A and B are shown apart, each in its own frame.
Chain A
Amino acid sequence: MSSTYNFAYLDEQTKRMLRRAILKAVAIPGYQVPFASRDMPLPYGWGTGGIQVTAALLGQDDVLKVIDQGADDTTNAVSIRAFFARTAGVATTERTAEATVIQTRHRIPERPLHAGQILVFQVPIPEPLRFLEPRERETRRMHGLADYGAMHVKLYEDVARMGRITTSFAYPVKVAGRYVMDPSPIPKFDNPKLHDCPALQLFGAGREKRVYAIPPHTTVESLDFEDHPFEVQRWDRPCGLCGSTKSYLDEVVTDDRGGRLFCCSDTDFCRERRDRMEAGR
């Protein structure tokens, strides 16, 4: 563990500032709380928001898991896990069940989370209305007035033009019946897991300087229409490695002749199932 820097890199004043912002975020589910994001030694857009939230949460007894695209061994997850192993010296794990803090990019683990766990999302663009309205002053006003007409019009136009809502990730949700929130670029497949989750879910956007939260057991609805209900991705085949029919699948190009392998994006979930199959044999 490096001694040049404070525990978990950030100084204690910065952590206190972050914790205050996080508490406010928990108190107002789905509301984007501005915070004084720091320059971090990893690039903006590579998880600086998530890293700052994680740094503010970590204690010496925490067990950290970091995933990117659902996997523990993707390069950026490896890099962030190594960062905290180096600056905080905390225990790390690849097992979802054992982790107290899970930092993630683009996925929610398949295994249901339990009370006491915290899921930290890395968020590139926290504002769900950003691509409808580029100006921050205007989008904050829209949230203040719960003026979400533009979002419904966008979804309606999708249906009118394409026959379906074409957003496949970062699918907007309404949290606790009030704020429309960007769940970060998780596939819409993961949206149902946001709802009534026993774990605390925190979202950190470093470059845009916002944190927001879904407290445990909060109502989270994916926006839809009565005649076009929300639906998630599905595959015509099970995972090629563990046979799961209930997980999000990665498509792996296996050769240059059109060969494909579909396998779980959540590597821990897949491994666990294969271990169990192995043991049951």
Chain B
Amino acid sequence: MYVAVKGGERAIRNAHRWLAEERRGDPDLPELDPAQLREQLALGCDRVMNEGSLYDPDLAALALKQARGDTVEAAFLLRAFRTTLPRLAASVPVETAGMRVTRRVSATFKDIPGGQILGPTFDYTHRLLDETLAGTDAEITPAATAEQPVDPAVPRVMDILDADGMIQPEPAAGDGEPTDLTREPLLFPVGRDAWLQNLARGDEGFVFALGYSTQRGFGSTHPFVGELRVGTVDLVVEPEELGFPIVIGEVELTECEMVNQFLGSKTEPPQFTRGYGLVFGHQERKAMGMALVDRALRNAADGQERRGPAMDQEFVLYHSDNVQASGFVEHLKLPHYVDFQGELETIRRMREAAAPVDGAQGAGEEGGER
């Protein structure tokens, strides 16, 4: 047996050719068109867009195909493409009150202006495998259309609470450009704009688990879903040379506003506070997790006692990015034999020093070429 030591160009090339074969799978089955993924695995594409930090359903579908369904790898592909794109303009803040909602629910009030709209949801489905989907010819019963269309502008539940003075006022948005973590280094402590961006790009599982931890005592949120809404909004830019706003397109968003109880302090009356989540596409878990972590981070920033990792800025922001995390963890697969040799040498010297005078040397010292 001889152990090959060093890899090379040919090995890499062949490995990647093999990967392409594996990606294709059984050639007797039809090849996937990215458009099929975009339409039929839309939620997977949405996740890739969020963590890839780029709104482009077609490219997300392509990335998902190229990555063989690995969403983290697909997000990585999208990030590496995104980083080369020029910044043409920044949009004006999107107006989610004007969202064309497909789904909108509130857990805090039985009925709300604009109504509760369930929309296309997994909620209340029985999670039984559906054998009719095993083939490719499942029949679909179309959903009935409502007699009246949804209001074009659906007021936010938070604004209703706000009108009663029951909710802590949000600080007015600053005049300056918001932080962009893809163009500035992360320096602590960071402001809310930076952590919201970080959370929106963060790994869904990580953000969601952190949110979950705040519900189990590792934090201090007592949350209610004030409102969760899904739909499309217009993207508006105001080019300086034009001097008036123009609509350049629309994006689908999921927005979650969590309401949290606050019993008051010496300076503030008892009231409700909020946590905010906003993500691309239809991503309810992500938006809810984000809103919970946002609240936990704000509580910490307001000086509350830190009761868990979700309240720790550095812990949350440094570890939420799965492209960074997967790269760094997976780099352990790279050769480390120089460092390992250093460790071996240290351990052997220490064993020599510790061994009795006639003691055997380490096995590795035997049988080598001399």
Contacts and interface: CB of A to CB of B under 8 A. Distances in A.
B187 A34 contact: yes
B164 interface: no
A134 B318 CA distance: 11
Interface stretch (B33-41, B125-133, B334-342): B334-342
A281 interface: no
Given A69-B335, A187-B338, A75 B314 contact: no
B243 interface: no
B119 to A, nearest CB: 33
A23 interface: no
Interface stretch (B23-31, B81-89, B169-177, B283-291): B81-89
B12 A48 contact: no
B285 to A, nearest CB: 24
B76 interface: yes
B233 to A, nearest CB: 26
Given A249-B341, A252-B5, A258-B366, A166 B346 contact: yes
A85 B202 CA distance: 33
Given A38-B83, A162-B350, A260-B368, A135 B339 contact: no
Contacts of A253: 3
A43 interface: yes
A163 interface: yes
A169 B370 contact: no
A151 to B, nearest CB: 18
A78 B8 contact: yes
Most chain B CB neighbours (cut-off 10 Å) among A6, A106, A107, A186: A106
B349 A164 contact: yes
A245 interface: no
A240 B369 contact: yes
**What band does the interface of chain B fall in when counting residues whose beta carbon is under 8 Å from A?**
35 or more
Contacts of B86: 11
Nearest to B368: A260
Interface stretch (B192-200, B221-229, B294-302, B319-327): B319-327
A5 B84 contact: yes
B203 to A, nearest CB: 13
A106 B338 CA distance: 7
Interface stretch (B95-103, B178-186, B272-280): B178-186
B350 A124 contact: no
A43 B338 contact: no
B356 interface: no
Interface in A229-280: 233-237, 240, 248-262, 265, 267
A76 interface: yes
B149 interface: no
Contacts of A233: 341-342, 345-346
Contacts of B344: 251
Contacts of A41: 80
Contacts of B346: 164, 166, 168, 233
Contacts of B323: 39, 43-44
A260 B188 contact: no
Given A187-B338, A254-B2, A260 B369 contact: yes
B159 to A, nearest CB: 36
A36 B183 CA distance: 5
A235 B370 CA distance: 12
Given A164-B349, A207-B328, A261-B368, A69 B187 contact: no
B364 interface: yes
A11 B86 CA distance: 9
B314 A137 contact: yes
A46 B1 contact: no
B327 A169 contact: no
Nearest to A17: B183
A36 B365 CA distance: 47
A75 B341 CA distance: 19
Interface in A123-150: 124, 134-137
28 contacts: A9-B84, A34-B186, A44-B327, A45-B329, A74-B7, A76-B335, A78-B7, A78-B8, A106-B338, A137-B188, A164-B350, A168-B343, A168-B345, A169-B339, A169-B342, A187-B342, A209-B186, A233-B345, A233-B346, A237-B368, A253-B3, A254-B369, A258-B363, A259-B369, A261-B368, A262-B369, A265-B338, A265-B341
Given A43-B323, A79-B12, A166-B350, 10 more contacts: A34-B186, A36-B182, A43-B327, A106-B336, A106-B339, A134-B314, A169-B338, A251-B344, A253-B3, A254-B3
Q: Which 6 A-B pairs have the closest CB atoms?
A: A44-B327, A45-B331, A43-B327, A168-B342, A45-B328, A260-B368
